[in-house]
Structure 1
Amino acid sequence: MAGTQDRRAELGAFLRSRRERITPREVGLPSTRRRRTPGLRREELALLAGMSATWYTYLEQGRDIRVSDQVLDALADTLRLAPHEHDHLLRLAGRAPKAGTPEPESLTAEIAAVPLLLQPHPAYVIDGTYDVLSHNQAAEDLFPHLSTAADRPPNFVRWVFLEPMAKEVLVDWEPEAQGLLARVRTLAGAHPGDPRYARLVADLHDGSPEVRSWWPRFDVEQRRGGHKRLRPPGRGVTTYAYTAFHVAGHPEQTLVIYAESEGPST
């Protein structure tokens, strides 16, 4: 099946990207002067992980093979994967429960009303693909043109990468955008074959040179709260704290709330 083949190809590319970022010195191997590729060689990684070099090569090539949980854990340890990267590796290897292709969750009137009740704090409800299902006027003011697309729901990821004003509003646009793209890859990896993520990733590649440059890095990251420095139209730089809450009974829907913070601003 195409979805399984895509997942195996993604697994191979993810392993290769992580192998190339580990230097021989980091794992106690002698450095040699001439290396055709950065990082560890396949044979070196296989040796350190306690598996056959041929078997590892097949895995990185995306061939239809299965490896044990112990081997995957050994690869994760050798590659020094962070916990969320380890989870991503397991999902790509088919060892985590399959999420399948969920039906888009309908937005109830009660949930749609929550951002309106939170005015004047910017707030919105997004689904798993960052489609903005409901938002208040404060969110529209903070993120101009968020809902201008007439042919599709507003989408926060598309806004960040395809809306010209995003680079003005997001003071630290590059690290914010890189983190967001890593979260999109994580979600897409958890939903192999889901056409919603395929469309989103294709749109981002079509419209953003940064996405075309960063996507091959295979960065993954979990969604979280924190602080952002924003420049609302007509105002100076302001630090906002933002928090995300999953909607009870609707695991794909998330309520995001922003509030001005006493953190540093310039």
Structure 2
Amino acid sequence: MADRERRRVLAEFLRSRRERVTPRDAGIPAGPRRRTPGLRREEVAQLSGVSVTWYTWLEQARDITVSRQVLHSLARALLLSPAETRHLFALAGEPLPAPEAERRPGQGPGSALQQLVDALDPHPAYLVAPNWDLVAWNSAERGLIGDPADREPAGRNLLRMVFTEPRMRTLLVDWPGQARALLGQYRASAGRHIGDPSFGRLTAWLCAHSQEFREWWNTHDVAEFRSVRRAFDHPRLGRLVFDYVKLAAVDAPGTTLVSCMPTDEETARKLPELSAYGSVRADGPIGATGTTGATGASRPGEVGGTGRAGETSRANGAVGVVGVAGTDGGVGGAGGVGNAGATGPVEGAATAS
């Protein structure tokens, strides 16, 4: 009974969409003496590359099989919106099309979602696509894992970062356990998006560049996301522990919001500093804020910028200390000047090697 009702609703939906599209909309001649509102069945069949008989059976709610390829063709012929396309697939009993295929190339998360991610700061937060591409992030997340914008677009992917960037192995406490759990979630997501080329490309790349990914992928282990506790050994702030919470972004199908909530007072106390560290990294190679220096110059021979005044005025305007020298031998900057004119201690000595 349920299957018969689903076919009936599908037939009614197709008829309503067909009657809405005019020949001019579809780019075909209208011809004389048209009595049918919208397109004729034979016109939809021709535009979709199927037989007239088969399409007629579909509108008659016959018990026939519809492939994903035909559904995509019907969606194009009937000029369906992304929401209508998902509805069509749902009525046909097929897995929903990959959201990536529905977004225009280069389309961002939308201003409202980006504002939400920013508003969660100083709690680390980010938006992630089904294939674990990072779509948006805030300053605290940047301070935690580094700035995704520093990577090429294809490298802004959590799986690529976790499995191929050496520093992630020291940042993540229990790297093997966390990495394997992420891979299991990724495999489950890939199973829901069979035919999406972005998953195939990413899986092939990871198998070629990570021995652990290749070995664990072949075990076929799957896992679903659940709220999980993750610990980090941050190079500047030490141990940070978060509970991860994941929410669906309804107005961006397939995209999810992940927010990190501190599990202890020590981590909560460090959040403003983590966000400030991320903001400094986004601004470029400058000195740190407050009592901890952010990374200074990262190119050989470059001079670290001037340290900023501390965000909290514990000593009546004492200055911020200087940023650390760059990893390739840059020179630390000078101490900044606080509101009261006191000069801060210089901790950004050169570390040229």
- On whether the aligned pair clears a TM of 0.5, the verdict is yes
Which residue of structure 2 lines up, in the alignment, with residue 235 of structure 1?
237
Counterpart in the other structure of 1:128: 130
> Please, which of 185, 189, 208 is the counterpart of residue 187 of structure 2?
185
Q: Are the counterparts in 1 of residues 98 and 193 from structure 2 also a CA contact under 8 Å? A: yes
Identity of aligned residues (%): 29
Correspondences of 1:189-200 after superposition (within 5 Å) = 189-200=191-202
1:19-51 deviations in Å (ceiling 9; x for gaps): xxxxxxxxxxxxxxxxxxxxxxxxxxxxxxxxx
Offset at 1:236?
2.1
Answer with 1 or 2: which has the greater Rg. Answer: 2
Distance verdict in 2 for CA 1:127–1:109, change over 3 Å? same
Q: Provide the rounded CA distance (Å) in 2 between the counterparts of 1:228 and 1:263.
A: 15
Task: Summarize the Cα distance change of 1:109–1:154 in structure 2 as closer, same or farther, 3 Å threshold.
Answer: same
Partner of 1:174: 176
Distance 1:200 1:114, change over 3 A: same
Q: What whole-Å deviation, never above 9, does each CA across 1:132-158 have from its counterpart, x for those lacking one?
A: 111011101101253322243611111
Q: What is the number of equivalent residue pairs in this alignment?
A: 171
Shift of residue 248 of structure 1? Answer: 2.0
| Distance in 2 separating the partners of 1:124 and 1:104 | 21
Secondary structure of the corresponding residue to residue 219 of structure 1: coil
Is residue 156 from structure 1 mapped to residue 153 from structure 2 by the alignment?
no
User: What secondary structure sits across from 1:99 in the alignment?
Assistant: coil
Q: Are the counterparts in 1 of residues 163 and 210 from structure 2 also a CA contact under 8 Å? A: yes
- Secondary structure (helix, strand or coil) at the match of 1:139 reads helix
Gaps of 5+ in 1: 1-95
Specify which structure has the bigger relative contact order, considering alpha-carbon pairs within 8 angstroms and separated by 6 or more residues.
Answer: 1
Residues 208-247 of structure 1: pairs in structure 2 closer than 5 A: 208-247=210-249
Indicate if the aligned counterparts of 2:232 and 2:239 stay in contact, CA closer than 8 A.
yes
In structure 2, the residue matched to 1:118 is 120
Establish whether residue 201 from structure 1 lines up as the match of residue 198 from structure 2.
Answer: no
Distance in 2 (CA, whole Å) between partners of 1:166 and 1:256 is 18
State the distance in 1 between where 2:190 and 2:137 align.
24
Alignment of 1:1-266 (within 5 A): 97-102=94-99, 103-105=101-103, 106=107, 107-152=109-154, 154-262=156-264
Task: Tell me the TM-score normalised to structure 1 length.
Answer: 0.59
Inter-CA distance 223–251: structure 2 relative to 1 (3 Å threshold): farther
**Structure 2 gap segments, 5+ residues each:** 1-92, 268-353
Q: Tell me, in whole angstroms, the C-alpha distance in 1 between the residues paired with 2:203 and 2:266.
A: 34
> What TM-score do the two structures reach when normalised by structure 2?
0.45
The CA RMSD measured in Å over matched residues stands at 2.3
**Any conservation in 2 of the 1:128–1:252 contact (CA below 8 Å)?**
yes
Q: Indicate if the aligned counterparts of 1:141 and 1:232 stay in contact, CA closer than 8 A.
A: no
